[in-house]
Amino acid sequence: MSSTRSLKDKLSFIYRELYALYGEPGCPLHHETPFQLLVATVLSAQCTDKRVNIVTAELFRKYPTAAALAKVEPEEVEPYIKTAGLYHAKAANIVGAARKIMSDFDGEVPRTMDELLSLPGIGRKTANVILGNAFEVPGFPVDTHVQRLSVRLGIAAFKDPVKIEKIVCANIASEYWTNFSHLLILHGRAICGARKPQCGECPLSPRCKYYREEYKV
């Protein structure tokens, strides 16, 4: 069997098993608009989704739109997002993105990867989250959980997020990309933790590189 066919089979197996566990959980970040999702995703860097949802509840009451945030200085936003960490940079990026959306995109969050990447604070992971969850444009966000599981499962031999994204997207149908990322993230939180993965409870063990090497099976 070719390595490409083997990888396609492995990804199909992983998706099926995780889908059986978690289904289609959707995006855990609370939002009502694409712009609110953008803000929430920027805030999620090195911060839990639970904390982000607490922070954005108050932030969006005060500044619900790009137009509202574009009118203020980052210093005015900082008190609302301080508990999300890295608040100086995040406030600057959120306000900067809002201003660029108003000036360059007629107040609407853009719908292409290149345009999203032109916004302050938006990398490929954030852009893929927005594309997949706000616009139903296939995207495969690679966060730290996806990186870790990709290496452990033998999907990739490295943690480079761009390379992982390319490998997965080349070997599984685009209609599965967004949910596949959600499933890997959930599994990373629930079972395949960074410090102590619960391999005995994991349905992926039969096809897991880490499990085979760790337990010599």
| 206 part of a folded domain | yes
Task: Specify the amino acid at residue 16.
Answer: R
Phi, psi of 210 (to 5 degrees): -60, -45
Give the distance, in angstroms, between the CA of residue 211 and the centroid of all CA atoms in the same chain. Answer: 25
Query: 135 in a domain, yes or no?
Result: no
Expressed in angstroms, the distance from the first to the final Cα of the chain is 21
Q: What range does the domain containing 203 cover?
A: 3-25+141-215
List 50, 114, 143, 166, catalytic entry: 143
How far apart CA 135 and CA 123 sit, in angstroms, is 17
- Which residues of the chain register pLDDT less than 70? 1-3, 217
Across all residues in the chain, what is the average pLDDT?
95
Per-position DSSP letters for 94-114, written without gaps between them: HHHHHHHHHHHSTTS---SHH
In a domain, 64, yes or no: yes
What's the CATH number where 61 sits?
1.10.340.30
In a shared domain, residues 59 and 96: yes
pLDDT for the residue 214: 84
57 and 18 co-located in one domain = no
Active site residue 125: yes
Q: Tokens 């005060």 appear where?
A: 62
44: tokens are 């999620």
% residues pLDDT > 90 (the chain): 92
The answer to whether residues 150 and 93 belong to one domain is no
Number of compact structural domains in the chain: 2
Q: Are 30 and 38 in contact (CB under 8 A)?
A: no
pLDDT of amino acid 217: 64
Identify the pLDDT of residue 65.
Answer: 97
Find, among 56, 94, 99, the residue nearest to 75 by Cα: 94
Q: How far apart are CA 132 and CA 70, in angstroms?
A: 25
**From the candidates 10, 90, 100, 125, which is the catalytic residue?**
125
pLDDT computed for residue 44 by the predictor: 95
Which one, of 89, 93, 134, lies nearest residue 110 by Cα?
A: 134
Which of 108, 127, 152 delimits the end of a domain?
A: 108
